[in-house]
Structure formats: C-alpha cells, structure tokens
Structure 1
Amino acid sequence: MSLPWLLLLLHPIFSYSFIYNTFKSNHHNPNLTLNGIADITSNGILKLTNVSTHTIGHGFYPDPILFKNPDTNKVVSFSTAFVFSIVPRYRKLGGHGLAFTIAPTKDFIGAQPSQYLGLVNVTLNGKASNHLLAVEFDTVQDFEFRDISDNHVGVNINRMKSVNSTNAGFFIDGNSTKQDLCLHSGKKIQAWIDYDADKHQLDVTLSIYSNKPSTPILSVPVDLSPTFQDYMYVGFSSSTGVLASSHYVYGWSFNMNEKAESLDLDLLPSLFQFKTNKKRFRIWFMASIISAFCIIVIIVAVYVTTKKFNNTEVAEYWEHDLGPHPYSYKELKEATKGFSHKMLLGFGGSGKVYKGVLPDSKMDIAVKRISRQSKHGEKEFLSEVSTIGRLRHRNLVQLLGWARNKGELLLVYDFMANGSLDKYIYSSNNPKKILTWDQRFKIIKDVSVGLLYLHEEWEQTVLHRDIKAGNVLLDSELKGRLADFGLAKLYDHGSNPITTGVVGTLGYLAPELTRTGKPTTRSDVYAFGALLLEVVCGRRPVEVKASPEELVLVDWIWDKWREGRLLEVVDARLQGVFNKSEVMVVLKVGLMCSSDEASVRPCMRQVIRYLEGKVPLPEKLGPSCDDAVKGGFVVEIKEFAPSLMKMKSV
C-alpha cells in the first residue's frame, strides 16, 4: 500500500492535529525532523539557528499531511499557533528571521541563507514548482525583495518577495490601536496563522500573551489550492547572514479544519532556568562578578590591540557598525586553499581576488585580499565595509563579511561565476565569450537599476565614482551586478557632497571633475554613459591603438551620429544580429549621458525610462551634447591614455 493511502487510513481526513508543549521526544510526541544547524535544547526548545553567520536551520513535523480534499482538489482550512523568540547577536540588529513553512519537502537542497531564509536560492526563487507557502518573521530589510522594514511579517508564495506584509505588532481586544512589537527583542511571541478555505483568506495574528487577540495584523486574500500539492510538510525554517540571531520555537500546535489550540506561555520552557537555592545563587553571583572582570580585561586588551593595528577613531567607525569579524583568517585561508594561485580570479591596484569555498557550508565566495602596505588599500577596505556592507540590492554584489590578520585586510563577497563584464567585451573572437545583443541589453538595464538604487532609493545618496566594465560582475545567469565600492562616497539626500580629489578611471571621468574635483550623481551618469557606449561598440572609451579620429570613443560616435551612420559603431562580432531600435536607444542615451555639460545629462530614473521605452527620446540631443569631450580634455586623454594598457587581469 502506498504511503499517502496508508496515512489516509491512519489519520482521518481533515481532522489531523498535534501539539508540542515541549520538543523533547516521547511516545506521544515524536521528534521533529531537523537539518542544517537546528537542534533541540536540553530543556526542549527548538533552536533553529545560533549566532553563527550564513547558516540555515530547519525543524519540520516528520509526517506529510493531506491538505487537499480528493473530491474537490481544493485546500481545506487549517490553523496553527506557535511561540517563538529571536535573540540577536547585536542588540539592535536582527538577522535574518524565521518562517512558518508549508512545502512538499523537508529537504531544501541548494537553499541559501541570508535573505532566502533557507528555503530557496537565487535560481529557484519565484518558480511555481516550489509549491511553497512561507509566513516570514523578518528582521532584515531586503531591498531586492522590497521589504517594508527590518521588523515585518510577510506572506510569501513560491518566492521571497511577499505578496503582502505589515510591520510587526499586535492588537489588544477593545483597543483599535496597533501595539508595536519588536521581533528581535528576545521576548516570547505567540503567532497564529489561520487559513479559511471558504473565504480564501490567510490571517496572521501576533501577541506577547497567551490569549489570541480577535483582530489579526495581516489578512491576505489567497487561494492556496493552485500552490499546494495533495500532501505537504509543515515546519519552520530560519537563516542568518552577515548579521545573525538565535531563532527559537518553544511550542507549537496545528489543526486541520479546526482552530489550533493557543499555547500558555507560562507553561512553556524558558531559555534560562534559575534555581532559588541560596548557595547556588551565591555561586552564580560570584561567577558573574568574575566573568564581568574577565570581560573588562578582554575589552581592554582588544582596545589596545586595535589601537596598535589602526587608530582608534577609524576602528570604532566600522567595527561599531558590523561588530566582530564574521570570518576568521584561518577559515578564509582554508577556503582559498592557502590563497593558491589556482584560485586567483584577478588583481589590480588594491589587491588580489580569490575564489573560495567555505569549508562548512560549501558555499562559493570571492575573497579580496588587500595589501596593507598601500594607504589606498586601507581606505578602500574601510569604505567598502562601511558602505556596501549596508547596501542590499539584486544588482549589487553582496558583501558577505570581512576579516583581518596582522597586515592583511580581507573582504568576502558573493561569488560571481562569470567574472567581470570587460572580459566579455574585450574577449577578441572567443565565441564562448561573445555576448549576444539580448544579453548585453539585459546587463545594461541591470546596472542602471542598481545605480538608481544607489543614487535615489537607499537611505543616503551613494556615489560609486568608479563605474566601468571591469566593475560590473556577472552571476551564473549573466545578470549584471555593480561591484567595487572602494571609492564610494555617501551624503544625505538633498545635500551636496564635499569637495574631494579626482578619482576614477581615465575615459570614465566626467570633464567637470578635472576642474572642480567635486563628484555628483551626474558624474556617475557620465561614467555610465561611457559604459553604455563600450558595451554596444565592444571597445574601450579610450583606445590608444586606434586612429586619431577614433581615439576617444564618444567623439567617434558623435561623428557617426552627425553623418547618419550610427549603426556602423556596433560591435562587429555581433555579425549584424541585434535589435536596431534598442541599439539606437542605448547609443543615444549613452551620448546624452556623455554630455560635456553635467546639467544636460539625464538622471538615472530618466535613463531607465528611456531604456524601457516608457518615454521617447528627445529628437535633438542638445547642443551641449554635440560639443561633448572637446579641447583640452581630449588632449589630456591622449597624453595619459597609455597608462590604461598597464592594467592587469587574470
């Protein structure tokens, strides 16, 4: 007899229920199925994760449950209640959260931690074949999934972007005002999730008390029948990222076609069991005093060591934001096979980049090993930790962590399987590295969206200041992500950035930078324009081996524009296979962005509207555009262009 029919006989249809007041194993309360780093504590609490970084934990009811009525093929009503708490590594920074999950499997092979909560990965996210419902209790705001805050509850179906969400809170009966609730406060929080099959509605209710409020904080109209298979597993999934929390579940009840039984918080186990014995109290008190003294000694020792390693002001700036090292030097050395030459991905002025595989999770990473001998290397390290460490977007390369060892500084990133864009643009005639037009156009739009996020959508304005093909990395699906924030600068929206020295790469530098030294979003746009032109043409912004009239790419394209022969600049390796209207749009936008006058250049929001065809391009690009990159700037480029040929790559 097959398993589903056997279960149908053992468990009468739609009357399936269970309750855990403790997760200790007994005859009436079978063990959960655990994987990842999940564990049951000695006093019967399900601990999904600890404060280790980039980990996953699952705890699922061991048997599949029949959710669909065989006669109608519709999901029937169900209800669950559970008590959880989230205890962050750093008091104000939770990471990443947990999710009540209904899925066709207990083994989430290939699932990623961090924002994916151990349920899917970048490839599986959004696929209907996931058959996944996850009610997330999320403590990190992920802009990729358009999270509303770093303290929210969301309902996710097959993807990590919620179909609906709300800030965490609860109602007290008789009071219509929603009470604020911090998910990572460490307090016990009871959650109720109820699905009404007749109304096609999913309700989520929270409270810090044992009794269930009459008003849910989230009601989502949804028919789960197309999502669910006949038999599904129920349980919990959690993960950590650069930021980490311990995620606990104290008790859990579940019921098909009936309301789940609420849990009495006072009867559930506690994380810490204190004895009232006076002798033990005195021992505990003395141990606490000794521990506190040891901690003070350690803090003083760390302070002295930090001061020797770096000046106190700088160390406090970035260590306060990110806390102790999420990676050890030993771990990264092992991951890169001792920084073997065989693992080398590339190198430049700031240091070498290696591929690595983390020994525990087997996760692919990229490790930038910055030499401390260069003052620029130190500044770049601090800039990247303090900048990209707080940025989260699908079109930016994610900083996973960092480490340092004596005179070395190390940054750890998502591994981009296809390397940098410039290796494809300048790959000569290697057919495996010749990007199609569709691939190029998609990468252009990817980078434009990432740059818009930096300029307008994050909490501050971020100037990248080194946009170029070498700083655009491609993941396994050839999606473009902007990388290398070593030169980035931040300032508040509506204010002006401070005047600074001229930095960047020749050919991408806006003309006004050589006069004022003051970067703006429009100087980033200028560099983006140069990137657009080189992606279309397959050649560098400044080509020292070209004829004088073709030395400066934007000048050459303007000449072709005036002659009505603009399509002649398209990369010959495309062999004429491209969408002419899309190519014309990209070239024209590239010329607009490359205007000598900063005020004429479009902002990134305008650029995206042009690229997506939402607004037509102006018929005349503007007189200031026609005079772009002239005179002394061209002379300057001609004088210094040979230095571009000295760049090394692997």
Structure 2
Amino acid sequence: MKRLHPACRLLSCSLQVTRMPAMKHASFLQRFLLLLFGLIITTLASSDDQFLFSGFNQSSLTLDGCAVVTDAGLLDLSNGTTALNGHAFYPTPLQFRKSPGGKVQSFSVNVVFSIFIAYQDLRAGGMAFFIAPATNFSDAQGAKYFGLLNEKNNGNTRNHIFMVELDTFKHVELQDIDDNHIGIDINSVISLESNTSGFYEDEGGAFKSMMLNGNEAMQLWVDYNESDTQIKVTLAPINLPKPSRPLLSATYDLSTVLSGSASYIGFSSVSTLINTRQYVMGWSFGMNQPAPSIDISKLPKLPFVGPKAQSKLLMIVLPIATATLILSMGTLVTLVVRRRLKYAEVREDWEGEFGPHRFSYKDLFHATGGFKNKHLLGEGGFGKVYKGVLPLSSVEIAVKRMSHESRQGMKEFVTEVVSIGRLRHRNVVQLLGYCRRKSELFLVYNYMPNGSLDKYLHCEDHRGILNWGQRFRIIKGIATGLLYLHEKWEKIIIHRDIKASNVLLDGEMNGRLGDFGLARLYDHGTDAQTTHMVGTKGYLAPELLRTGKASPLTDVFAFGMFLLEVACGQKPVKINAEGNEVFLVDWVLEHWNNEALIKTVDTRLQCDFSIDEACLVLKLGLLCLHPFPSSRPRMREVKQYLDGDMPLPELRKTELSVNMAALVKSNGPNLVIMSYPQITSSFCMISGLSGGR
C-alpha cells in the first residue's frame, strides 16, 4: 500500500498561490509552476513503497511448488513434502531503483518465522529470504542450494540474486560454519558473511544463541542502506524488540547485483529427507523507510507441539473405575512386563552423553517391520542390513544388526560411532546413530536406493551392467571420500573395510563409502593404536596381517584391490574348477608383465571404455597394492593421479624384487608367504613397482 506523498501536499499549496492577481504575478507564477512541476515528477518517481502482512488469509501472494497458505493463515513453504521446493513471492515486482541505471534504494524487511522439525537432534531443512529478477526456478536444486540455484550456476554473477539464508545443515564443501547459522549470500550459496544464529542483548551486549529449528517463532530484520551500501541482518525472539546491534553485517553495493529497475522478493524452502516445516507468520517491507512494525498479537498461531491435554471425562471416570482396575491389575502388569521385555535395551549411565545419537529399539523395530526377511537388504560376516522407515519423519534408513559378546570396549566403540556420525560428505554414507539391545548392536545409516556396488559387478542376473563412465565416476568419488577421512576431517579415520560391498550407490548412481562399523579414528599428528586385525580376505595389507596395526596406508592397499575389482569386474579371490584359490592381483600382474594389461578389463563392457582411463586405474591399483607401505601413494596423490593433475609414476621391474628379498630376510619367508601369498608370489616372480612419491 502507498501513502500520500509530501509533494502532493506541496502541489495543493501551490494552487493557493495561483489565486493571486494574475496581472501582477503572471511571470512569477509561470516560473514557479514549471519548477514545482519538475520537482513533483522527480519526487513521485521515487515514491516510497511499503506493505504489511499479519497472516496471509486475504493475501494475494504468488505460490510455487509445495508452498501453501494454511487455513489458520500461516505461509507453509514445505507443506510436509520431501521432494519439492517451495517458493512464495510478493505478487508484483518492486521498483528498487529510482530510474533505470540508478542506484538500488535503501530498503528494510521484517519477518516473523518458525522452522519445525520432527527430530530436533537431527539437522535438516532451512529457508531463505531472497530478491531475484524473475519467479521461475524450475532448474533450481533443493538441499544446499535453497531451491534457488544449482550446481552449475552457483556463484554465477548473472544470477542477480541477493539472499539471506537460514541454514540448519552444515555443508563442508560450501564452507558452512556450523549447522545453525545465518548467512548473507550474493549469487551463491557460499556466504559472503555468516554467523551462528542468535542476538546481542542491548544491556551488556552479551551474545545469546538461538536454535533456528527449535520449533519456536522468531523475528528477522534485513536492512540495506543506499548511502554506505551496508547490509545488516538482525535476529531476535518474537517477544523482544529489535536489538540495536545486528547479528552480522556486510558492505556490498546491491546496485551491482540486482538487475533492471524492478525485482521480485519472497521466500524459498529446502526439500529434505527429514520432515521439516518452514512457516512465515508475518512479513513487512519498506522502501526508503523502516519496515512497518508487526503486531505480534495479530499473527496466526503456530501448530501445537506437545502432549495432549488430559481428558476431563477420564478424570471423572477414574475414581469410579478403581475397582475394575484393581481386578485388571494382574493382567495389565503381565502385558506391561512382556512389552518391556520385547523392546528392552541395554543402557548404561555413560551413554547419557550420547543421547541425540541413540535410537530407541522400539522405533527401529517398527521402522523395519519387526526385522522381517522381506525388509532384508543384505547379509555379511558382521551382521544383517534391513531397510526401514522411521515412523514419525518417514525418513528411509538402513539398519545394520550385529551381535557383540563382551561389554569390554563398548564405551570406546560407541564414542567413535557418535564421532563418525558427525561426518558430512557427498561420498560418505551418513551414520545417523546406534542402538543397543541385549547382545545386539544396531547401526543406523541413510538409505541408499540403488544398493551396493558389488551387486552390479558380480551378479549379472540381478542388476544392470555399469558402463565405464559410471565406474570411473564411482572410483573418483570413493577416492575423494577416503581423502576426506584421512586428511580433511577434524580427526583421521581409518575405515578398515574398504570393498565393493561397502560402496553404496545413491539415486544418481554416485558412489558413497558406507559401513563404518569397523572404523577407528585418532587425532592428527598421532599414531593409530589399533592392534586387533579385522577386515575382509583379499583386501588385507601384508603389514596388517603381520602386526595387526591399521593405518591410512592399509586403507590405500584395500583401495588398490577395489580399483582392480571395479575395472576387471571380478572378486579379489575366487575358486577355480580344481578347487584352488585364484587371486585377482596374480592375474592382473601376469597380464601386465606380458604387456596385455588392457585384456583384464571387464569383458561385459564389450570394449566400450577409455583405454587411457582403464590403464590408469589398473596401474594405480597395482601401485596401491605394493607390499611395502612406504612405497604406496597416499590418498591425496591417488586423487591427483585420477584427476590428471599429476602423472602416474612409471612401473619398473627391478626395485620390488630387491625389496621383497629384504622383506623375506627380515621377517622370515614363512611369515611373508603366510601373510600375503598372492602378493609375495606374484611380485617376486614377475617384477616390481616404483614408489608412489
């Protein structure tokens, strides 16, 4: 809505001047009216705009995707969906410039909002306020791109988008500071400035943090000053006035960002696997003036979250039913005891600190349909994996069910499970938490719809054939994930069980490293202390068999066998017609020595692959399988080889024979042969590989 501009009142005064005698003042009036007319035209062109919404029942907002207005008048940006983005726009574009080519004018925004999430200990969802040149975001992606951008145009100056993100998920690759922050974004979801959500008290200036997804209403102010190009963002609880000190500020000329004279303003939501609701209760805007204050008492109420009120009828009937309850007590106690035994869990005092990462057995039992075989995804030496759907949030999960015989070391194991649960990487399956019941341990992961990689490599009648492009992308993805585990996270993580069956494929056939049930972690700059040898035959490094001590280089060894397995489409160890074990590395080394390495590539590809990429993968696999750890490359170098940023070292046929002789001399021939017969025999018989660095 618009108010009467002061220039109009000035025009009214000028009309009174025209009543003066015409002959006496004609010349003066002509000059005065011409000047006044020009002033009015110039001033009206920059007339102030403002609007105020206290609820949205009678509003004419433009809605897109899953955004709706509820019967109570709330703007619901997600509507409880998990697959669509939601947008809500002010119906007409606003004139942010006084004239074409002019500077963007000062403006102010006030929003009352709330983010609801079914599991407050999990982090998902979020929303954004934005200014954009158009209302079509059909190419935008959800999740980390807030339904406004995508992987290709993120950071493109032609986006002409200004955004304030309310982010409740930490994306490491986008340089997010935490999983509860507000950011100022210019044409990109990598924030220009960001800060943990909260506000500064006017008295004393102390910082008070606030949870964005705390299921509570709060206020947001966004202010832009034309003269000094200052952007200020302020947050506060709904019952407090606007703090004098903003949460964050940045200096940026929005005249270089917003295109044209007019732009659209609105909100967007983020699609997520976890049921999240983003509500807007009130919204005001002012151009060249503060946004109108929002009267909290006139806003629609948020949905009630909490226990239902006790029935008054029950309070009346309860005394009357006392006699009946006494007679039923025996049966009731029996039923309760049986029910508790059915869902009984192992809980100890020290587990209290891990509460948010612990799932109840009851939830997992119902999610998997009682762990019925029809929900079974797979079975291995360490347990069975079931598909499930969490009852409250409808999130699809994978539950690994394992047995443990001893309580010794369980606290240490759970501590590491919880630590690993904080991993966030696109090539790592997220570990959501755990549960303990009697002699069983349950690990809960995000569900990967396309299953494990080994089903595509070794079960022709069960899955489709992966083409070479898909295989090479999966290899590079797993290498990126291992580099993150070994070097880029806050601790060093040794996976200890890298193999094709532990590589899971998401909906877009991207490889994700999963099953961290055997993983161990330790601080950077220290050595791993594990001495208990675990893993899978065919993937175990020689030094691991001798000493039982795992390290990042034992993961590199297993990754080398993984490379051969993906390229050749064969298992590391198989039984031939005579009942003898045949090792894949023997076969590849023999072909390499006979200069026929390319013949080892999976024949099901029917020669439809890149010869250079296939040779790179096979040779890199052999280099990672070097029996001496110091001669293997680290994952940083492996990633550089795969990306073509560094040439692969030449393979030499003399060095390894000398190294293997020294290994036999120092450790005894029997120990070496028992530790890794296929590596010892093949490398000693044929040749050696140069070091990785």
Give the TM-score, by structure 1 length. Answer: 0.69
Change (3 A) 1:362 1:557: same
Shift of 1:38: 9.5
**For residues 64-103 of structure 1, what are the alpha-carbon distances to aligned partners after superposition, in whole Å with 9 as ceiling and x for unaligned?**
3325899979997664233567899999987654432568
Change (3 A) 1:375 1:49: farther
Is residue 608 of structure 1 aligned with residue 639 of structure 2?
A: yes
Contact 2:148 / 2:268 at 8 angstroms: preserved in 1? no
Shift of 1:521: 0.8
1:462 counterpart SS class? strand
Is residue 316 of structure 1 aligned with residue 344 of structure 2?
A: no
Which deviates the most, 257-266 or 125-134? 125-134
1:536 counterpart SS class? helix
Mapping of 1:455-494 within 5 angstroms? 455-494=486-525
Q: Which amino acid aligns with 1:166?
A: S
Cα RMSD, aligned residues only: 5.6
Shift of 1:395: 0.4
Shift of 1:510: 0.9
Change (3 A) 1:124 1:181: farther
The 1-side partners of 2:558 and 2:154 are apart by: 33
The 2-side partners of 1:180 and 1:623 are apart by: 65
Change (3 A) 1:400 1:526: same
Change (3 A) 1:24 1:558: closer
Change (3 A) 1:82 1:464: same
Q: Which residue of 1 aligns with 2:182?
A: 153
The 1-side partners of 2:525 and 2:469 are apart by: 36
Q: Which amino acid aligns with 2:291?
A: E
Contact 2:572 / 2:584 at 8 angstroms: preserved in 1? yes
The 1-side partners of 2:230 and 2:361 are apart by: 38
Contact 1:75 / 1:225 at 8 angstroms: preserved in 2? no
1:448 counterpart SS class? helix
Among 343, 347, 353, the alignment partner of 2:385 is: 353
Among 291, 297, 304, the alignment partner of 1:261 is: 291
Change (3 A) 1:203 1:439: same
Shift of 1:238: 6.6
Among 619, 622, 628, the alignment partner of 2:650 is: 619
Q: Which amino acid aligns with 1:82?
A: V
The 1-side partners of 2:48 and 2:589 are apart by: 74
Q: Which residue of 2 aligns with 1:284?
A: none
The 1-side partners of 2:461 and 2:277 are apart by: 52
Shift of 1:492: 0.9
Is residue 417 of structure 1 aligned with residue 462 of structure 2?
A: no
Q: Which residue of 2 aligns with 1:164?
A: 192
The 1-side partners of 2:174 and 2:374 are apart by: 36
Shift of 1:398: 2.0
Shift of 1:148: 3.0
Change (3 A) 1:585 1:238: closer
Q: Which residue of 1 aligns with 2:367?
A: 332
Contact 2:539 / 2:561 at 8 angstroms: preserved in 1? yes
Contact 2:66 / 2:87 at 8 angstroms: preserved in 1? no
Change (3 A) 1:538 1:56: closer
Among 196, 213, 233, the alignment partner of 1:205 is: 233
Q: Which amino acid aligns with 2:93?
A: L
Q: Which residue of 2 aligns with 1:184?
A: 211
Contact 2:435 / 2:443 at 8 angstroms: preserved in 1? yes
Question: Which runs of no fewer than 5 residues in structure 2 stay unpaired?
Answer: 1-44, 303-336, 679-693
The 1-side partners of 2:363 and 2:343 are apart by: 20
Question: Which runs of no fewer than 5 residues in structure 1 stay unpaired?
Answer: 1-11, 273-300, 640-650
Contact 2:88 / 2:267 at 8 angstroms: preserved in 1? yes
Is residue 100 of structure 1 aligned with residue 129 of structure 2?
A: yes
1:439 counterpart SS class? helix
2:385 counterpart SS class? strand
**For residues 370-425 of structure 1, what are the alpha-carbon distances to aligned partners after superposition, in whole Å with 9 as ceiling and x for unaligned?**
15476699969947842442111100112345566777654443332221111122
The 1-side partners of 2:232 and 2:491 are apart by: 33
Mapping of 1:7-18 within 5 angstroms? 17-18=50-51
Is residue 65 of structure 1 aligned with residue 92 of structure 2?
A: yes
1:433 counterpart SS class? coil
Q: Which residue of 2 aligns with 1:193?
A: 222
Change (3 A) 1:92 1:355: closer
Shift of 1:145: 3.3
**For residues 455-492 of structure 1, what are the alpha-carbon distances to aligned partners after superposition, in whole Å with 9 as ceiling and x for unaligned?**
11111111111000100011121111000000011111
Contact 2:93 / 2:263 at 8 angstroms: preserved in 1? yes
The 1-side partners of 2:362 and 2:291 are apart by: 43
Contact 1:171 / 1:216 at 8 angstroms: preserved in 2? no
The 2-side partners of 1:530 and 1:87 are apart by: 46
Is residue 568 of structure 1 aligned with residue 599 of structure 2?
A: yes
Give the TM-score, by structure 2 length. Answer: 0.65
The 1-side partners of 2:153 and 2:455 are apart by: 28
2:573 counterpart SS class? coil
Contact 1:96 / 1:140 at 8 angstroms: preserved in 2? yes
The 1-side partners of 2:230 and 2:422 are apart by: 33
The 1-side partners of 2:186 and 2:176 are apart by: 15
Q: Which residue of 2 aligns with 1:578?
A: 609
1:217 counterpart SS class? strand
Shift of 1:149: 3.1
Mapping of 1:408-557 within 5 angstroms? 410-428=442-460, 433-545=464-576, 551-557=582-588
The 1-side partners of 2:407 and 2:513 are apart by: 20
**For residues 254-299 of structure 1, what are the alpha-carbon distances to aligned partners after superposition, in whole Å with 9 as ceiling and x for unaligned?**
24x5455164899898999xxxxxxxxxxxxxxxxxxxxxxxxxxx
Shift of 1:596: 1.0
Q: Which amino acid aligns with 1:552?
A: F
Shift of 1:519: 0.8
Change (3 A) 1:619 1:377: same
Shift of 1:529: 1.0
Contact 1:118 / 1:237 at 8 angstroms: preserved in 2? yes
Change (3 A) 1:583 1:348: same
